[in-house]
Structure 1
Amino acid sequence: MTTSSTQVIILYFSRGGATQRLADAIAEGVTAAGGEALLRTVNSDADAASARDMVIERDELTRCDALLLGSPTRFGHMASALQKFWESTSNDWLKGVLINKPGAVFTSTSSLHGGQETTLLSLALPLLHHGMLLTGVPYSQPSVHGRDGGGSPYGASFLNDRTSLTSSEQQTAFALGRRVCQIATACRHATIED
C-alpha cells in the first residue's frame, strides 16, 4: 500500500509524560519534513500518560516507512511494556517487515546520570535485529552541544527534572524526527537489496 506521505511511527511508553513530550517534539520534526507522524503506544498494566495515543497495531509495522522508539529509563534499560511488545514481534522479524527502514531512539530520565545512553543503546537492539537502518543525531546538529539538557549522537533525550524540554532538547528531538523522515522519504524512492 503506497501513501502520498512518508509514514513515521513514533512508538513510546510514558508514565509521567516526559517521554511523551519528546515524542511530540519528534513528531513536529517529522511533520516539518513533510511526513505523517503516527504517535503510538503499547499496552501496559500501568496507567500511562501515553494512553492519549492509539495502541500500535501489528500491521502498522508493515505499512510504516520508519519507526522511532522511546522509553523512560528503567535501570539503564527500556520499560518492560516496550520490551514485552518487541518480544511479541518474532513473526514480523521472520517476515522482515522492518528491513531497510530507518529507525531511531529516544529516552527520558529524572536524574543527570540516570542511564540515558545505556537506555538508548538497549532501545536500538530490537531495531537492529529487525534489520532497520539505525539513525542518530550527527554532531553537526548544534543542539547536541547544548549544556541545558539531554541529547547525544545516540538519540534524543530529556532530563525531566523540570516540566518542559529545554531549547536544546526540543531542537535535538525535532532534528531527529526531521532527519528520520527525510531518510525514510529517500528510501521510499530507492532500491535497497538485502
Structure 2
Amino acid sequence: MQPYVLVLYYSKYGATKKMAHLIADGIEASGMQAKIRTVPNLTTVVTQAEASIPEEGDIYCTLEDLQHCSGLALGSPTRFGNMASEMKYFLDQTTSLWLNGALHHKPACVFSSSGSMHGGQESTLLTMLPPLFHHGMMILGLTNAHPALSNTKTGGTPYGATHVSGPRHDLGLSADEKMLCIEQGKRLGTIAQQLQVK
C-alpha cells in the first residue's frame, strides 16, 4: 500500500471542505499522496441510516483509512467554540485504534472554519487536539516562517489553518487563508514523508 496522509473533515456549508482540499494540495506538493475523507451528518431522529458511500462528494472515512494513514489533517467547523458533533462522534468510535496504538508517532494537524472572526476558531482547534494526543500522535501547527500568519486580517493561527466564512457562510477563502492551508499541508506531508524513511 502506498503511504498516504489522511485529510479527514466535516463540513456543513462547504468552507471546511474547501480548506481540506487545499491542505490536500499542499500534502501532494510535498510528494506524499493525500486521501480525502469526510464523516456523515448526524440527526437527532434516526429514520433511515445513511448509505455507507454518499451519493455525492467525498467518501466517508473508515477506521481502516485512519489506521493505515501516515499522517492526519483533522478539520471541523466551529460549533460554539467546539468541534462539530459529527466529528466528535467519529472520533468516539476509534477506541480499537487507541487500544492497538495504531496512530502512535504519526504526525497530525488541525484546521477549522467559523462564521465570524471571534467565533471560537482557536478553541475549536484545541478541542480536536486531545483525541490526537490520546492516540499518541505528534501535533504540528503553523510556524511564523509564513508571513501570512502574522499579517492576515482573516483566518490563521499557530495552532492550525482557519477561515472566516461570514455570518451567511458566503465569504470565500482569502489569499492568506488559502496559502496557510497549503503550507500546513506541505509541512504535514514533508514530516510524514521523513518519518516513512526511519
TM-score, normalised to structure 2, is 0.89
Provide the residue aligned with 1:184 in structure 2. 192
Asked if 1:28 corresponds to 2:25, the answer is yes
Check whether the contact 1:21–1:164 (CA below 8 A) recurs between aligned residues: no
CA RMSD in angstroms, aligned pairs only? 1.7
Question: Which consecutive residues of structure 2, in runs of 5 or more, have no partner in the other structure?
Answer: 44-49
Aligned mates of 1:27, 1:116 — CA distance in 2: 20
Aligned mates of 2:173, 2:21 — CA distance in 1: 11
Check whether the contact 2:164–2:171 (CA below 8 A) recurs between aligned residues: no
Residue correspondence of structure 1 range 72-91 to structure 2 within 5 A: 72-91=77-96
CA-to-aligned-CA distance 1:1-54 (integer Å, 9 cap, x gap): x42xx401110000100101111110110111111111101122369x9x5100
Aligned mates of 2:124, 2:93 — CA distance in 1: 20
State which of 44, 51, 64 in structure 1 corresponds to 2:69.
64
> What amino acid maps onto 2:20 in structure 1?
A
Provide the residue aligned with 1:95 in structure 2. 100
Deviation, structure 1 residue 141: 1.3
The farther-off stretch of 167-176 and 58-67 is: 58-67
Equivalent pairs counted in the alignment come to 186
Aligned mates of 1:150, 1:116 — CA distance in 2: 9
Check whether the contact 1:72–1:108 (CA below 8 A) recurs between aligned residues: yes
TM-score, normalised to structure 1, is 0.91
Deviation, structure 1 residue 106: 0.2
Misfit runs of 4+, over 3 Å: none
Check whether the contact 2:27–2:33 (CA below 8 A) recurs between aligned residues: yes
Check whether the contact 1:73–1:109 (CA below 8 A) recurs between aligned residues: yes
Deviation, structure 1 residue 147: 2.7
Provide the residue aligned with 1:18 in structure 2. 15
Identity within the alignment, %: 39
Aligned mates of 1:103, 1:35 — CA distance in 2: 14
Asked if 1:165 corresponds to 2:173, the answer is yes
Deviation, structure 1 residue 148: 3.0
Aligned mates of 2:76, 2:65 — CA distance in 1: 19
Question: Which consecutive residues of structure 1, in runs of 5 or more, have no partner in the other structure?
Answer: none
